[in-house]
Structure 1
Amino acid sequence: MRSNSARRGSSRFAKKVGEIRPTQLLHSSGVGALIDLPNLSVMVMGLDEWDLTHSTVLTEQRLLAQVKRRLGDQVEQLLMPPAVQEGNGFGNDALGYENLVGVPCSPFPRWMVCPVCKTLAPLSSGLFNLDPKPFAPERSRFVHTNCRAKKPPAVLPVRFMVACEAGHLDDFPWVDFVHRGEKCERPQLRLEEFGVSGEAADVQVKCTNCGSSRRMSAAFGEQALYRGAALAQVLCVAGAALLLGEGRRPVPP
């Protein structure tokens, strides 16, 4: 698998971050699925993001006939997931071309928390940098470069997200939640935990810029969507998850 922070056709920012079996892609880890890697949580990108240059045609006519019977005659062929085949001349150079071939994925959730200073921010903030490990891709991680720790600590994906009843996912609206819908000029968030239970009532998000704070227990229950207008309704219209009135599809950060 490769993490890609660019659109299809650009491999400039692609990095290999792990491996899964082809059968996993067909079952539990297909398009839109979350995959829990040792240090990352990623979502498999849509087929329109896949580079099929290195996909082998599956020549199984009976299987193709069954697929056409289910989906229609517009299906022309079946392809294997993109992968570099052995004996293609690329060798085993972990820093070379073959390191860019694979199934594209994107980090999700896109909000991370530093376990040392408790900084809570999205990957788009630039506070966290990917630390790729070409020779051990499963050890790839995001780190907080400017943390007060002696060495940049590995940051963790937040364990809260939102989903509609149809299963569409989106990031939790941290800024709107902690400010109860009010505007903050320069929100700077921290995610603090009190005690060892891990319950939502013991987890607090705080803005160090304006002082606003809120316990995560306020995000649960039947009235959570209506408390202080901090959490807008999560709707599902025409197959798209809408959060805070904005429809989004999974895209690289």
Structure 2
Amino acid sequence: MKAKDTRVRQSQLVSTFGVGAIFPSGDHSYLICGLDEWDERGCAPIEEPRLARSLRVHSFRAPATGSRRGDVPVVRFPEFQYCPGCRRLGRFWEFDEETLQCSDCVRELAPSRFVACCQKGHLEEFPYFQWVHRRVDGQATWDASARHLMKLETKGVSSSLADIVVKCSCGVRPRDLEGAFGRSALAQGQVLRRKEAVVAKR
């Protein structure tokens, strides 16, 4: 996809916002796709034969910048968005996908503040559903047949993780994000396995 009405400098694409980086654009954020998704026709060749021989590559190309020369391939990331008004939390297609507004508050959505990352640098969505529907003594704590609408609320006491709370309409006990940055916080047994999760639909 293309980030709407967005321009990025070439120097940014080879440094701060290179491949795999999260690029902020107004109230939205995107993940820069891998080079296999780029269109070489929008990337001008750079003649550096000695450096190419040294690095054992054929050639170099300057990255596109979202101008007439070509678009930078991106995907929306994170998919989780929340409404600053009612604090509803969900993937962007669960709201108004065209306007990215909350249908209840008619307010612009904001990207999730949290993502998960492994030691090798692979990014994924923070598992909000699995986090609040945690397993207790090996048993699930939620009703699979219930309606699941999540909210991301703050207690307003401080900016710590302990003051950020995930709630679900199914009635499961709310859970704050304290400990979410721990090494084994998302390990199997601490949160639900992916195959046990259900898709929240409105």
Give TM-score scaled by structure 1 length: 0.64
Matches within 5 A, 1:167-186: 167-181=121-135, 182=140, 184-185=144-145, 186=147
In structure 2, runs of 5+ residues without a counterpart are 196-202
- The equivalent residue for 2:89 is 120
Letter in 2 for 1:210: G
In 2, Cα distance between the equivalents of 1:179 and 1:200? 18
- The equivalent residue for 1:134 is none
Contact preservation (8 Å) 1:173, 1:231: no
- The equivalent residue for 1:187 is 148
- The equivalent residue for 1:80 is 62
User: By how many angstroms is 1:228 displaced?
Assistant: 5.7
- The equivalent residue for 1:48 is 36
- The equivalent residue for 2:97 is 129
- What do you get for the CA RMSD once the two structures are aligned? 2.7
Matched position secondary structure for 1:66: helix
Matched position secondary structure for 2:12: helix
Contact preservation (8 Å) 2:152, 2:165: yes
Contact preservation (8 Å) 2:43, 2:70: no
User: By how many angstroms is 1:111 displaced?
Assistant: 0.5
In 2, Cα distance between the equivalents of 1:110 and 1:84? 22
Matched position secondary structure for 1:31: coil
Query: Could you say if the C-alpha distance between residues 21 and 84 of structure 1 is closer, same or farther in structure 2, counting changes exceeding 3 Å?
Result: closer
Higher relative contact order (CA 8 A, sep 6+): 1
**What percent of counterpart residues are identical?**
31
Match of 2:6 among 5, 18, 21: 18
Query: After superposition, what is the alpha-carbon deviation per residue over 1:103-130, rounded to whole angstroms, capped at 9, x for unaligned?
Result: 11122221111000111001243x1435
Query: Could you say if the C-alpha distance between residues 35 and 226 of structure 1 is closer, same or farther in structure 2, counting changes exceeding 3 Å?
Result: closer
Matches within 5 A, 1:195-210: 195-210=156-171
In structure 1, runs of 5+ residues without a counterpart are 5-13, 69-74, 86-97, 132-141, 233-243, 246-253
Letter in 1 for 2:86: C
- The equivalent residue for 2:52 is 64
Matched, 1:154 2:108: yes
User: By how many angstroms is 1:55 displaced?
Assistant: 2.1
In 1, Cα distance between the equivalents of 2:90 and 2:173? 16
Contact preservation (8 Å) 2:3, 2:74: no
User: By how many angstroms is 1:223 displaced?
Assistant: 5.9
Letter in 1 for 2:35: L
Letter in 2 for 1:190: K
Q: How many residue pairs get matched?
A: 188
User: By how many angstroms is 1:63 displaced?
Assistant: 3.0
Contact preservation (8 Å) 1:29, 1:35: yes
- The equivalent residue for 1:38 is 26
